[in-house]
Structure 1
Amino acid sequence: MAVEIEFANVIIRKSAIEAKYPGGLDGFAESDLPNYIEDDTLVRVGFMSTGEAHNLAGHLSQHGLTLNETAQSDVAVVQVDSIPDWLTIGPVDNSIGCWLIGTDPGSLIKGTNGFLLCCPRDLFDRLELVLESISAEVERSEPPNEDRNEFFQVVHFSCGNASISANVIGEKSGNSPVGLWGRRDLSRRQHCAGDVRFAEAIESVLLANGAKNR
């Protein structure tokens, strides 16, 4: 597989993180990283600025990962026009992907951590029915006490091994639209590919039924 790249990207060998970073891959994934995705061999963390990307690369270097210009490097800061010899970039599934040289890019893991939608109230009330088309199960629950001033419900979506939860923002009752903020659980990094595709499928169905991107 290949990981999607955009703007400034830190690309890391998964084997190096597992061997050298405190807590391994699970510890790294739980570090509140933006746009974390992974395939079979690589991890990608995306940023809007090269400065932030270089800061993360330096942090990884301090933990023993190799950061240099050789083919043995564990870490690289990658942009579309800047790629080290041990990686390849190119078009994959109508986007730009990055993969380990000498491997098959296969399908693309997109840099999607979730969605933020404005959802008409009648659509929100019918989530269970609307999402039957993608075999999604929908469970609703109250948010934790400390979060109840920010959102009034948590909706958990699942389908097989794929899972994503969404916080519901707005008025608890009435006819006004609500915000649906869906986010991947990065502690589920081993299910990254499935969760990303599931989030995209949910977003696509809801947009087709009247929701709008916020």
Structure 2
Amino acid sequence: MIFDYNVIWEALPLYFGGLVTTLKLLALSLFFGLLCALPLGLMRVSKNSVVNLSAWAFTYVIRGTPMLVQLFLIYYGLAQFEAVRESFLWPWLSSATFCACLAFAINTSAYTAEIIAGSLRATPNGEIEAAKAMGMSRYKMYKRILLPSALRRALPQYSNEVIMMLQTTSLASIVTLIDITGAARTVNAQFYLPFEAYITAGVFYLCLTFILVKLFKLAERRWLGYLAPRKH
């Protein structure tokens, strides 16, 4: 079997357009997902059982159902309700890009919230006692000590979530978006060359994953260097 490089060379602009779409989906989903995950993570470590249970129920349901089902419910499911179609939200909910970003943001917020909650629970007691000894209020303690410390320690786990979200964005092609996977599907539909089309898409995802891993390694070296064993 001979790899048809000419077809892929001609389709590169389509793949690079898909790359831009993939990066846009990933960036927007992670940004809004993290914004939602911060309060959810704080709710998960709350001593108030109602607050804790409500956040737990959200993360449990989202993490316990497939991402594809969530995407279909938002993109196709909401459209069946007349109240939704007549509401001011319809211009956004009728957009494939908006629905994909919304579904991805909701999904990653649940996983990220549990990562943050786990890091908060793992905070050394010494840091909490030192903050209390300084007379910090609970708000200041979380703002200046607990959250910054927890977010730094959460970097290794969060890097895995970011990479998983990168792979998850490939589902956007199912709702008509031309991301990297969508570009591969288009090439395959035009030339009936699935091997060339999807191998090229895989190379794009591998390159993106390599870049993300390197960026997170640099971030860990910058913000978690103090946790590394001392060299004698």
**Superposed pair shares fold, TM > 0.5:** no
Q: Mark the structure with the bigger radius of gyration.
A: 2
Higher relative CO (Cα under 8 Å, sequence separation at least 6) belongs to 2
Which is richer in strand? 1
Place the TM-score, normalised by the shorter chain, in its bin.
under 0.3
Structure 2 length as normaliser, TM-score? Answer: 0.22
Structure 1 length as normaliser, TM-score? Answer: 0.23
Which is richer in helix? 2
